[in-house]
A and B are shown apart, each in its own frame.
Chain A
Amino acid sequence: MKAQTRRQWLVTHEWMVKPMRQKEWISGKGILVWLAEVFSALGMGLYLVGLLAGLGGLTEGAWWATVGGWALIVLFKLPLHLVYLGRPLRFWRAIPPFTKAWKTSWLARGMFFSIVFVTAGLVQMVAWYLLFNDVVTGSATDVVTVISWAASIVAGVFILLTGVYCGFAMSYCKSVPFWNTGLLPIVFVLMGVADGLALTMGISLATDDLAISTLESWSRVLLVVNALLILGYLVQAYRKHSAAELAARDLISGSTAWVFWVGIVILGIITPLTISFVTMFLEEAQAGPLLIAAIVCHTIGAFSLKYSVLRVGIYRSVLPNVN
């Protein structure tokens, strides 16, 4: 007999049978993970943009950008992650050489990346400070320059890895099909860099020694690329798996939709993009307030992106024949 209706009623443990949202990394104390990941992206973007700007020509603005990015990682990302842990005082167990888990675990790798970045970044900032303020003279300048370049390269590579590892950590989870895609780390990194460009523009408004028009050009390109990437991500989710489709639907028209449309699309992408086009035709003095608005919108977009992706992390059901 052909089944006419198919309904299910859960009696126990519905989280294993119905598609349910993960809560560990977004609800209750899990909010700390969300905030830590946001500061991770902002810190990565700000430091990376500052570093690249400084390598092109050392300026006060570039130095402050690297200091800002480094501070976001050290003062916000790492402490928030630490506080989230159930046993914070054991954090050292996740750091090589106390663990060999870095071979497989993205969290252990992330710890390592963060520590190397913090160390190399500190050396780079001190070296830049010495060079920029002419503290060192003579042959010492050459030594500091070499140290500065070496530290910059190491810090640059490891801040990128620090920004990207959380994307890989999430995309590793087959239990959450919406995250289980190689696009996730790319989206996180590019959005982080776009946010970093915006924050660097804010710094350059104060120091007035960075080419805002260049930063804006890059910001425009990245925002368009990010918009396309997010679109591609959602299309992929729709095609991938029913749980991923459910997550995408939740993002677009469900309870998380307001965060997606208002936070990511309108404030995070459309508004900064519009402002960056409008400011092309304005004087710098007139563009200042608009740039500040764009920076605020960018930052709201960064918070919204991580929140919505973590929020719609929907598990696959455990049992067969139950979708």
Chain B
Amino acid sequence: MRWGMVINLAKCMRCHACVAACRVEHFLPLHITWVKLIAYEVDEGGAVDVSTYPVRCNQCADAPCTHVCPTEASHQREDGVVVIDSDKCIGCRYCVIACPYQNRTFLSKDKNPGYFPGYEKTGFENKGQKIFPHQVGTTEKCNFCVERIDAGMSRGLQPGVDRDASPACVNVCQARALTFGDLDDPDSNVSMLIRKHGGFQLRTEYGTDPSVYYVDYRLGGVPSNVAPREAQTGSHIQHLSSIDRDAAKRLHIEPKCAQPAPDGEVEP
């Protein structure tokens, strides 16, 4: 058995429901997100492509983070899920650097100021701290909601099919872009999706064999998640105008000031 996830890029509409569900499920500290939605825009000869990649820990079959961890705090369960034992983590951050997918976060004090910085912790926060004691000075990442999987399976439920045994992000995805199941079972929903739509993993050249697959329903080599020009909304046009003068010129609107480069960015 190896739990895996298929993410349909064509269906994802960047609503951030998965991010919110994960935060609520695990009582995540204010400045930590286990699930991330990478949104980027590409302009190829005037054709603007807006893409969203939902990313999380890839639960690699051959996970570099487990190899580099000096205390075995990062380890792989029999079902393929890579988990972190916060009580063993010494906070060396080697896994943060070694993860080729940059999906690990070091929980420093400044990332956990409480949900309402400057105020006392709420009852909700205190209760959450008891259920999921996030330890400052350790590393965190997505764990495929193993607590839900384990609790559900102990009640005879099937992860990926029964909501009570499935990851929170999968349950809340209103676009049904996330599918969860057993990669080792050729008849599982995830295996069939991968076969049918040519599922792909990120950066296969690392040889890590991620358990997170993507499908994008590409038809004739054209990404289907690009909004047709006529379907682009006014706000979308305005957005483009704020980040690119050329785009603004093409769309016949006045450009706003250019967006500053993020700190630490290296121009390629």
Binding site for B on A (CB under 8 A): 1-25, 30, 84-88, 90-91, 93-94, 98-101, 104-108, 111, 169, 172-176, 242, 246, 250, 254, 313-316, 318-320, 322-323
Contacts and interface: CB of A to CB of B under 8 A. Distances in A.
Interface of B: 36-47, 53, 55, 64, 66-73, 88-94, 96-102, 106-108, 135-139, 202-203, 206, 243-244, 246, 259, 262, 264-266, 268
20 contacts: A6-B43, A12-B36, A12-B39, A13-B37, A15-B102, A25-B93, A30-B93, A84-B92, A85-B137, A93-B90, A98-B71, A99-B71, A106-B68, A108-B71, A173-B68, A174-B98, A175-B99, A175-B100, A175-B102, A246-B266
Given A22-B97, A107-B94, A322-B40, A9 B102 contact: no
Given A86-B136, A173-B64, A320-B203, 10 more contacts: A5-B44, A9-B243, A9-B244, A10-B262, A25-B97, A86-B90, A88-B90, A93-B71, A318-B38, A320-B202
B55 A174 contact: no
Contacts of A169: 68, 94
Nearest to B244: A9
A19 B268 contact: yes
A254 B45 CA distance: 29
B262 A86 contact: no
Nearest to A250: B266
A174 B93 contact: no
Contacts of A108: 70-71
Contact of A19 (B43, B99, B107, B266): B266
Given A8-B42, A24-B93, A175-B97, A87 B138 contact: yes
B248 to A, nearest CB: 13
Contacts of A18: 265-266, 268
A314 B266 CA distance: 9
B39 A11 contact: yes
Contacts of B53: 319
A105 B89 CA distance: 14
A87 B89 contact: yes
A111 B70 contact: yes
B101 A246 contact: no
Contacts of B203: 316, 318, 320
B141 to A, nearest CB: 14
Contacts of B36: 12-13, 16
Contacts of A17: 38, 40
A16 B243 contact: no
Contacts of B139: 86
Contacts of B268: 18-19, 242, 246, 323
Given A14-B262, A18-B268, A101-B69, A172 B98 contact: yes
Contacts of A6: 42-45
A176 B97 contact: yes
Contacts of B40: 8-11, 17, 319, 322
Contacts of A98: 71
Most buried by A among B39, B90, B101, B138: B90
A147 to B, nearest CB: 31
A87 B264 contact: no
Given A3-B44, A13-B36, A86 B137 contact: yes
B93 A86 contact: yes
Contact of B67 (A4, A86, A104): A104
Nearest to B240: A9
Contact of A174 (B64, B71, B246, B262): B64
A1 to B, nearest CB: 6
A12 B37 contact: yes
Contacts of A24: 93, 96-97, 106
Contacts of B94: 105, 107, 169
B261 to A, nearest CB: 9
Contact of B69 (A8, A105, A316): A105
A237 to B, nearest CB: 14
A162 to B, nearest CB: 15
A94 B70 contact: yes
A93 B47 CA distance: 54
A318 B201 CA distance: 11
A87 B91 contact: yes
Nearest to B66: A104
Nearest to B58: A318
Most buried by A among B47, B89, B102: B102
A86 B68 contact: no
Most buried by A among B37, B44, B268: B268
Contacts of A316: 100, 203
Given A104-B68, A318-B101, A320-B203, A20 B38 contact: no
Contacts of A250: 266
A5 B68 CA distance: 41
Given A5-B45, A105-B68, A174-B100, A23 B90 contact: no
Contacts of A173: 64, 68, 97-98
